[in-house]
Structure 1
């Protein structure tokens, strides 16, 4: 699925809804499996790219990079580059990002209670 063009009606509707509804805005940032799982791992502390990739084996490097950039853009995490050889880069949740910890915990608990329900 491609990126939504900023001139499309769908894009405008999505943007208006996010502007009016804080829940939709928040879900747009952390929604989706990858952003949420990245934030979940980072609630335990700083991690390097390779550590995140190892912790989330089904994510491609490209997708991990894209999600990390998105979360950094929204100030959910910070990226720190150390001037070493080889270069070392660490990702860490910001104060805003750490505010997600109880929400992630509640989602986990809710998921545990409901994932085995037989929905038909």
Structure 2
């Protein structure tokens, strides 16, 4: 190898995971939804009742996005009235651990 040859190529951020983190942090309700799920609130109607300012429409958009990313899983029960519950997937647990590390890093930056 001559000294003219480049040893490293440009490093790029992982596209899918970077977009996922940006989308989740960009949604002002995703972190609240994770907090609700951790507290055992897994039905959309109860989530709306528990959080002031959270509308059904916005919650459904947030939940749909999280299901598409594979962070949450939607379980539909064949009952009347219809019942839907959400839970964190195994992948979601890993993702939430990364978010917790980002939060800890931010606290360290802030000097807390």
TM-score (norm 2): 0.67
Q: Which residue of 2 aligns with 1:4?
A: none
Q: Which residue of 2 aligns with 1:27?
A: 21
Q: Is there any run of 5+ residues in structure 2 with no aligned partner, and where?
A: 1-11
Q: CA deviation at 1:61?
A: 1.1
Q: CA deviation at 1:93?
A: 0.8
- Describe the shift of the 1:90–1:48 C-alpha distance in structure 2 as closer, same or farther (beyond 3 A): same
**Are the counterparts in 2 of residues 78 and 91 from structure 1 also a CA contact under 8 Å?**
yes
Following superposition of structure 1 onto structure 2, how do residues 1-120 of structure 1 map, counting pairs within 5 Å?
Answer: 20-22=12-14, 24-32=18-26, 33-45=28-40, 47-106=42-101, 107=103, 110=106, 114=110
TM-score (norm 1): 0.63
Output the CA distance in 2 between the equivalents of 1:81 and 1:27.
27
Q: Is there any run of 5+ residues in structure 1 with no aligned partner, and where?
A: 1-19
- Describe the shift of the 1:72–1:90 C-alpha distance in structure 2 as closer, same or farther (beyond 3 A): same
State the Cα RMSD in Å: 2.9
Structure (1 or 2) with the larger CA radius of gyration? 2
Output the CA distance in 2 between the equivalents of 1:51 and 1:108.
29
